[in-house]
Structure formats: structure tokens, C-alpha cells
Chains A and B, each alone.
Chain A
Amino acid sequence: EPEVTQTPSHQVTQMGQEVILRCVPISNHLYFYWYRQILGQKVEFLVSFYNNEISEKSEIFDDQFSVERPDGSNFTLKIRSTKLEDSAMYFCASEGGFYGQQPQHFGDGTRLSIL
């Protein structure tokens, strides 16, 4: 069964450094999402992406965050200057089919630890 793949599985970074989290969505999927989950808390929506542009973003997704689809397969989340509170599990998800008719499938996540 096709999967969403994320790399790296774990990223340890000093505060203030830039990080790039990478995702390869399921091929032929059209809608892409980033979520995060702080340890012990619920999964939170960050941003959605369609047709090479941001469709929606949450209040969490401030100017320090950006997303990009640099080629036909990768989907990246960049945090420009990391803060301690950015420590969390980051999940990429993709969704296929027509408008809102299929479930979102999640990757295994990247555990981001900011020191």
C-alpha cells in the first residue's frame, strides 16, 4: 500500500538554527498537510497546500515557518529560527481524490528536538 514517507525520523537542533523537514506524499495525491503534536498533547493543524500554494494556515504557522514543493515529489516544511517550543512530532499528510472525499494519510513523523 502506498505510504507517505518523512525524513529524518529524528532531528536534534540548537535553538535559533534552521531546520527542514521533508516529506514524500503518496503519488497522485493532490492535497498536502503539515500537523504537529507536542508530547502529551493533541495533533494540531499547521498548514495545507494545493496547486503549489498555501491553501490554509493556522495561527501557529507564523513567519518563521514556510512550505515548499520544490519538485514533483517532495513537500518540505522549513522553520527558519527554531525555538524551544518548536520541539514536537511533525506529521506530513496527503489526501487524494476530489474535494474532501478521501481520508488524509499520515507519514511516520519527524521528532524535532530543540536544545
Chain B
Amino acid sequence: GQNIDQPTEMTATEGAIVQINCTYQTSGFNGLFWYQQHAGEAPTFLSYNVLDGLEEKGRFSSFLSRSKGYSYLLLKELQMKDSASYLCAVRVVNGGATNKLIFGTGTLLAVQP
């Protein structure tokens, strides 16, 4: 089966750094994606990793270890607008032309002043 785990909620302080973890057990792994989703809105792409290591993109970084089935999203210099749900999604291949995303339940991050 396909399973993705991430914490349900986290709280952090404005200006701080927060790390959101994600573990997965999937077959046909072909990359891990992080999306941000504000309530009632669409997921917005943040970062992705196909190979092991760290990808940095401004205030956001994402790390992947395929052997451990583990990823994290690092948010630096937190701002109030970063309060949102952060979705971990694994792209899986099935031998066809397309690659679906399997999503975790999301981590609701609350940034406090």
C-alpha cells in the first residue's frame, strides 16, 4: 500500500525556523513534492526532490533521503502569512505516461507573533 505520514499540527514563532517532517512507504517512487495550501484554496507548489539531498529555494528548503523514506521541509524567517497547511506528496509511477501524486494529510502550521 501507499502510506505518507506527517504531523497534524505545528506551532512556531514569527521570525523563527520550523522543520516539517514527512515519512513515506510507497511503491514506484519518483519524487517527493511539498505544497502549501491555505484554507479553501488550491495547493501551491513549493519544492521537490527526486534525488537525495537538500534543495534550497529562498526561505524554503526541502530534504530527501530515499533509503530512509524521509523528507522534511524547512521554513526560515517565518512570517505570519506562512500560516497554512503543508502537504507532503509522493509522485508514483505505474508504467503509464502519467505520474499521480499521493498526498499526506497535511501539517497545519500556525505562526504566532
Contact = CB atoms under 8 A, between A and B. Distances in A.
Interface residues of B, number: 26
Contacts of A82: none
A95 B96 CA distance: 15
A56 interface: yes
Contact of B42 (A31, A42, A91): A91
A31 B41 contact: no
Interface size class of A (residues with CB under 8 A): 20 to 34
B97 A44 contact: no
Given A42-B106, A100-B91, A56 B43 contact: no
A58 B98 CA distance: 13
B103 A55 contact: no
Contacts of B102: 45
Nearest to B42: A106
B30 interface: yes
A55 B41 contact: no
Interface in A34-70: 35, 41-45, 48-51, 55-56, 58
Interface string B71-113: 0000000000000000101010110111111111110000000
A105 B42 CA distance: 10
Nearest to B89: A43
A50 B98 CA distance: 7
B44 interface: yes
Given A42-B103, A42-B104, A56-B96, A103 B42 contact: no
